[in-house]
Amino acid sequence: MADPHASHKYTHVPLDIQRLHTAPTFASSRGVGYLQGMHYDVSQYVEKAIRTGLPVGRRSRSRPEGYRQAGVLVPIVRTEAGYELLFTRRTEEVETHKGQVSFPGGVIDPSDKDIVDTALREAEEEIGVERSQVNIIGVLDDLITPTGFLITPVVGYMASLPVLNPNPLEVAEAFHIPLEFFLDPANSRMEKREVDGKVREVWFFDSGKHTIWGATAVITRSLLMGFGLL
């Protein structure tokens, strides 16, 4: 795969998180959906992406004004349970999204080479994941949040779960969930909420202890689409 740190190789059409929330959930016309009560093996789809990278597609370089640009690392980890997503739960001391489940990431710094560099730097600062442990396999579409951020999700693969060292000022805990979990309709729900004067459908993943929603839920769906699972 070409050098993932070359910023000109990643151009994206920003997605409106509010519009994406209204999309049907987990309805696949491609025959690879997760039927409730049945196990679905995601390995072949993830392993193909690891070998060849996620499909890039056609994207625009345009950027809307007035948004803070941020990068997040979407870490796929190989564990004894299979392929899992690594998440963090933010502390109550952080500036925004207090106590919410998220992917490690933050606002771009002037010293960053590009948005991939931002995501890797933030992951190292937040949970102690070293750059050398992460194999970048692609970048998902940007998304725009109601809180004023333009987020670029950077997908990285780790062949094993590294020793994590969460920054106690930013991260209350780090945890991982199998990818198959997100394909089971029993694990999701929808609520209607008013955002900027409009009623929107907002999707949630409930894992028992943790609730994943908002931008993190949208990014997770986008990743499954990139794998061809939705």
Q: Looking at the DSSP assignment, which residues form a beta bridge with residue 136?
A: 156
Which pLDDT does position 7 carry in this prediction?
41
Tens of pLDDT along 34-83? 334 445 678 999 999 999 998 765 443 447 788 999 999 999 999 999 99
pTM beyond 0.85: the answer is no
In the chain, what are the domains? 7-197+204-227 (3.90.79.10)
Burial 89-121 (b: 16+ CB within 10 A, else e): bbbeebeeeeebbbbbbbbbeeebebbbbbbbb
Which pLDDT does position 35 carry in this prediction?
39
Q: Residue 24: count other Cβ atoms within 10 Å of its Cβ.
A: 8
- Say yes or no to pLDDT of 115 above 90: yes
Lowest mean pLDDT among 90-94, 185-189, 222-226: 90-94
Which pLDDT does position 57 carry in this prediction?
59
Average pLDDT of the residues in 150-159: 95
